[in-house]
Structure 1
Amino acid sequence: MSDKVRIGMIGAGGISQAHLQAIQKEERAEAVAIADVFVDGAKQTAEKFNIPRVYENYQEMIEKEELDAVIACVPNFLHAPVTTYSLSKGKHVLSEKPMALNVEEALHMKESADRAGKVLMVAQNNRFRSETQLAKKWVMEQELGRVYHAKTGWVRRNGIPGWGSWFTQKDKAGGGPLIDVGVHVLDLTLYIMGYPKPVSVWGKTYDVFGPQKQKTMGYGRVDDQGKFDVEDLAIAVIHFENGATLTLDASWASFIKEERVYCELLGDQGGASLDLGKRTATLFKDDGRVYQDETHDLNEQDDRLALLTNFLDSVQGKAEPICKPEESITVQRILDAIYRSAETGELIKL
């Protein structure tokens, strides 16, 4: 492999542009081609980021281009087929989250990576945020002691993305806000906690606003030709083998003050709170009489660039992937169990 990692972009939407901005900042990376079924959009993205070649079919791009890796920025239902095909052709893969529509697909993706001997990473970029890294450091240094409970969520007031788009169709997205934004905070909280083994899950979902086409402001237009058959709020309680618990909230729409992205950790020696919107991390300590809290206002770190850097280091054999596929499989098991619990009303044992 040359010093430059030659990357093919699969998908030309908004999320691909976030990855392309990171590629422009990384001297080792070069986007040499882009593929999207919407060719006009691909051409616009290619022009914006000086990508020399455009394809309508990602398989044709992989066959014709000398690529080292691909970045998959496609709707959820395409994550598994795009990834497994790319791996079968000897390409390293960085795939957008969620890993897949279900755990069976996720397992097949990892099997394909193992068989090909190639790197597979899921783009859990929020692991690379300054707040997450600081909280991870606190846990590893035993500032919190034993973490016995955590609370996390990504909740919006008005944020149904493109009503009628693939986001709101279960067969294409796999679900609503739980698998869209909840997957981010679930992963980062598990990452901070050291990925304890989940043993049971209880979940509940609601579709209060989506079916009425309410609360769609600011996140996309209404497509009357589409449908809405996913949740707009999901809640869950997850139990772990070590005795710890985690509560999760994920919503696109609710009557709340404002959008929040948060993580709170409760330990027997201290606590921590992350506000990813305000970019703050607070450590809570006391000696039984005096509070010894400290709040850190953190400079914005380019988490997409940090994600790409780790991916390139892994491709070049210089580091291990920070986002390991087996961890994303654990996330997928939990997501599947939440939806199954919501359908049956029962506690799901893993």
Structure 2
Amino acid sequence: MQNNTCDKEKVRIGLIGAGQIGGFHLDGYEKIKAADVLAVADVDEEKAKNVAEKYGIEHVYSDYRELLENEEVEAVDVCVHNNLHAPIVIGSLEAGKEVFSEKPLAGSYFDARRMYEKAKEEGRHLSVQNLILFSKETRAAKKLIEDRKLGEVYYGKAANFDVVGFRRRSIPYVEGYGSPNFVKKKVSGGGTVYDVGTYTIGQTLYLLGLPEVKRISGRTFQNAEETFEGEELGDIYKERLSVPPTEEFPKETEYDVEDVGFGFVRLEDDIVLSFGASWNFYLNGEGSAVVGTKGGIRLDPFQYFTTISDVEADVTFDLDEYERRRGLLEGREGENDDNLFSPPLRHWIGVLRGKEEPLPTAEIALKTMLIMEGIYMSNDLGREVSAEEVMEKSESTALET
């Protein structure tokens, strides 16, 4: 890969997609001194103009291709729906831009692989958003694993009980946030597996050392319509579901994605990974975990389990103090920033400036896509599938732009 680091104080960024997530990213950039967002593009030009006015962005476009022609822009942040990622990211890479893409990498493994390979071909940095890779829990867990405190790891559980795992009740659009496109498969590619599962699967693969995927089994459920059928919940929910269309509630959202998903994955070296994610799940429980031959880690709440001098030990840590000290030693900027999107964006900017070694976020995202599409394929076929089968059968779901 050629050296494309930006030998300057600021990285000049163009944002594609001025919706809710694009706004979150712009809030993050405001906390990053080395980021200079100078262009924004959105098919809704009025929305793009409003965002530009709010954040002081100089150039506004209704066509992302015009943004890519702006030679001042050296890096692009893609904040559009999943099935639009591939054409825009590939076009950006071909235009010579460094790219940060929202999660998941694409709407299908086929498209994700095209993006990954295009970045390699063009010699450009492709980073993919996974904010929990940069959490204090992930950093501490990685350190314990690298220091062999777990021995040989053989099990990972990707199933946080919070906003990036099992949600008790938080369905996009239906419950008031996000657009209808979140729950349209032709645009989003999938439901909760893609939306929140991509976080925990990626985090767990990273902690396990990115082993190769062998076989996947999965099951998905769409329970929202039954959840909201009670009259006491109000008609607004029913109208936003509207599946199938009725005379009373004409079809609006085309809600055709899953709101609960589970999976079991066989990885190389006899490692296994279990997975669960939901927008709508009536249970609380223990969070993601990694277990080895000498110890185990639960990520939320963070705890280490081992045996010391023949005594079973359940150990807690002061992660805030660990992060404070490491942040000072490593010169990390803005560690007290409360914007969840700032850490992955700050890392991307640091990589482009040659200040940080890149985490393999694109490789993590590609393997995550393989598992997620494998869960969907296994559900449809009613059996376990091999990684090779997913690779061979995966097709493009990308939309025209």
TM superposition score normalised by structure 2: 0.79
Distance in 1 between the 2:275 and 2:146 partners?
A: 22
38-47 or 51-60: which moved more? 38-47
The one-character-per-residue Cα deviations of 1:267-321 (angstroms, maximum 9, x if unpaired) are 211111111xxxx411112237533222235448655333223212322344442
Give how far 1:58 is off. Answer: 1.2
The one-character-per-residue Cα deviations of 1:135-167 (angstroms, maximum 9, x if unpaired) are 111111111111221212111111110138111
Structure 2: tracts of 5 or more residues without a match: 1-5, 160-164, 242-250, 321-334, 388-401
1:194 aligned partner, one-letter code: G
Structure 1: tracts of 5 or more residues without a match: none
- Are 1:104 and 2:110 counterparts? yes
Residues 1:45 and 1:211: Cα distance change in structure 2 (over 3 Å): farther
- Are 1:294 and 2:315 counterparts? yes
Distance in 2 between the 1:325 and 1:261 partners?
A: 28
142-151 or 90-99: which moved more? 142-151
Give how far 1:21 is off. Answer: 2.3
State the match for 1:244 in structure 2.
Answer: 271
State the match for 1:323 in structure 2.
Answer: 360
- Are 1:271 and 2:277 counterparts? no
Distance in 2 between the 1:39 and 1:137 partners?
A: 46
The one-character-per-residue Cα deviations of 1:243-272 (angstroms, maximum 9, x if unpaired) are 111110011112224xx7831122211111
Residue number among 134, 139, 147 corresponding to 2:153 in the alignment: 147
Size of the alignment, in residue pairs? 343
1:207 aligned partner, one-letter code: Q
- What's the secondary structure of 2:142's corresponding residue? helix
State the match for 1:156 in structure 2.
Answer: 167
If asked which structure has higher relative contact order (CA below 8 Å, sep 6+), I would say 2
Q: How does 1:60-209 map to 2 (within 5 A)?
A: 60-64=66-70, 66-153=72-159, 154-163=165-174, 165-209=180-224
State the match for 1:33 in structure 2.
Answer: 39
TM superposition score normalised by structure 1: 0.90
Distance in 2 between the 1:325 and 1:64 partners?
A: 25
- What's the secondary structure of 1:199's corresponding residue? strand
Residues 1:91 and 1:76: Cα distance change in structure 2 (over 3 Å): same
Tell me if structure 2 keeps the 8 A contact 1:160–1:210: no
Give how far 1:111 is off. Answer: 2.2
Tell me which protein shows more strand as a share of its residues. 1
Distance in 2 between the 1:181 and 1:72 partners?
A: 18
Distance in 2 between the 1:102 and 1:48 partners?
A: 34
Distance in 2 between the 1:96 and 1:24 partners?
A: 18
Moved over 4 A (4+): 210-219, 300-303
In angstroms, what is the RMSD of aligned CA positions?
Answer: 2.5
The one-character-per-residue Cα deviations of 1:176-216 (angstroms, maximum 9, x if unpaired) are 10011001000001111111111111101111224775699
State the match for 1:3 in structure 2.
Answer: 9
1:308 aligned partner, one-letter code: L
Residues 1:168 and 1:288: Cα distance change in structure 2 (over 3 Å): farther
Distance in 1 between the 2:292 and 2:363 partners?
A: 26
The one-character-per-residue Cα deviations of 1:34-77 (angstroms, maximum 9, x if unpaired) are 11122232233222222222221111122135101010011111
Residues 1:119 and 1:58: Cα distance change in structure 2 (over 3 Å): same
